[in-house]
Amino acid sequence: MYSNPQKTDAAAGTAALQIRDVRKRYGSLEALRGVSFDIAPGEFFALLGPNGAGKSTLISIIAGLVGADTGSVAVMGHDTVKDFRAARRKLGVVPQELVFDPFFKVRELLRIQAGYYGCGKESWPWIEEMLERLDLASKTEVSMRALSGGMKRRVLIAQALVHKPPLVILDEPTAGVDVELRRTLWAFMRELHAQGTTVVLTTHYLEEAQELCSRVAILDRGAVQVIEPTPQLLARHPYRFLRLKLAGGAQLPESLRELVTANVEGVMELKLETRRHPIGAVFEALRSAGLAIEDVQTREPDLEDIFIELTGHKAGNGR
């Protein structure tokens, strides 16, 4: 089992991940403009941001694939450059791209991967357990090149975990996977987290981050826009959404029209600022205009609304 690997580090008060003023340029493009934050052991953390925000670049720097221009990163207190061996033994990264080695079969590949980290036969039961949990048990002797995309994604996840790292970073693990596998992966990540692993996730499915992660950072154009616990971030948004359908397809009174953000076949969505437009006032306005409500629904703002508010972008394929 994957039992509480980083307890001792946590006791020492060391951050699972410490990022200090990391900058990276690609020619004239500033991919990261001084990123700093810490992730505590045991967190389930979401790193969000629109395409090109710099999420993967930051992860590549943490993993040692890319060199930062300035700044430093430490995994469980080990500098990723000066003390790279110790840092990498504590880190597992699932890359965004579906990369694989076509020469090997699934089980063979995972055993090799474990070997790189100095894990021998003692890691084999864990490999079998992961194969089982990730629904790859029937594919253990299949060549990597013969796997479907979703299966390759699962092997990538297993590869990142062979050495039982206390910090796991998953770069869009659920991109392009079907609904069932996504559920499986969520359950798997939750289980890892419950067993003491610090999990960092990037995703464009914001409801995924909202459901899984206790803290969120939003990166935009290479800088951290906001970093907050998920509930606080959600509470920041001072709006509620009200969906209305009026009897007989009637129009809204003049005073309410500016609040409409969508109108689909007579179902209107109103964006209400909590303090300026209490819901009661809306109903009052409708009543005094003599309008009858056929259907009504309210919606709390979700991470997607906040994301759009903060970055001015659509998150992509979220809903």
Partner 1 sequence: MTPDQLGFLTLLKKEVMRFWSVLGQTVTAPVITALLYLLVFAQAMAGRAPVYPGIGYTEFLIPGLVMMTVIQNAFANTSSSLMQSKMMGNIVFLQMAPLGPLQWFAAYILAAIARCALVSVAMVLATLPFVQLPVREPLAALAVFLLAAGSLAALGLIAGIVAEKFDHIAAFTNFLITPLSFLSGVFYSVHALPPLWFKASHLNPFFYMIDGFRYGFFGHGDVPIALSLAWSLGFFLLVSAICMWMLVTGYRLKR
Burial class (CB in 10 A: 0-12, 13-18, 19+), 97: exposed
Contact yes or no for 163/92 (Cβ under 8 A): yes
Residues 85, 62: Cα–Cα separation, whole Å:
13
For partner 1, the closer CB: 81 or 279? 81
Which residues are paired to 26 by β-bridges? 29
51 contact, one of ligand ATP, partner 1, Mg ion, none, CB 5-8 Å limit per kind: ligand ATP
Check residue 142 for interaction with partner 1 (CB under 8 A): no
By CB under 5 A, name the one of 96, 140, 143, 214 that touches Mg ion.
96
For partner 1, the closer CB: 1 or 99? 99
**Least Cβ distance, residue 181 to partner 1 (angstroms):** 22
Check residue 49 for interaction with ligand ATP (CB under 6 A): yes
**Least Cβ distance, residue 174 to partner 1 (angstroms):** 20
**Least Cβ distance, residue 96 to ligand ATP (angstroms):** 6
For partner 1, the closer CB: 163 or 193? 163
**Least Cβ distance, residue 138 to partner 1 (angstroms):** 23
Which residues are paired to 264 by β-bridges? 267
For partner 1, the closer CB: 88 or 193? 88
Residues 286, 246: Cα–Cα separation, whole Å:
9
For partner 1, the closer CB: 54 or 95? 95
Check residue 14 for interaction with Mg ion (CB under 5 A): no
Maximum distance among all Cα pairs of the chain, rounded to whole angstroms: 77
Check residue 318 for interaction with ligand ATP (CB under 6 A): no
Number of residues binding to Mg ion, judged by CB under 5 A: 3
**Least Cβ distance, residue 170 to ligand ATP (angstroms):** 13
Burial class (CB in 10 A: 0-12, 13-18, 19+), 32: buried
Token look-up 């579906």 returns 98
Give the DSSP letter of residue 23.
Answer: E
Check residue 149 for interaction with partner 1 (CB under 8 A): no
For Mg ion, the closer CB: 110 or 199? 199
Check residue 203 for interaction with ligand ATP (CB under 6 A): no
Residues 33, 216: Cα–Cα separation, whole Å:
19
Token look-up 């606080």 returns 232
Provide the 10 A C-beta neighbour count for residue 295: 11
Contact yes or no for 281/242 (Cβ under 8 A): no
Residues 183, 197: Cα–Cα separation, whole Å:
19
Binding site for ligand ATP (CB under 6 A): 26, 29, 31, 49, 51-57, 96
Binding site for partner 1 (CB under 8 A): 60, 63-67, 84-86, 88-89, 91, 93, 95, 97, 99-104, 112-113, 115-120, 159
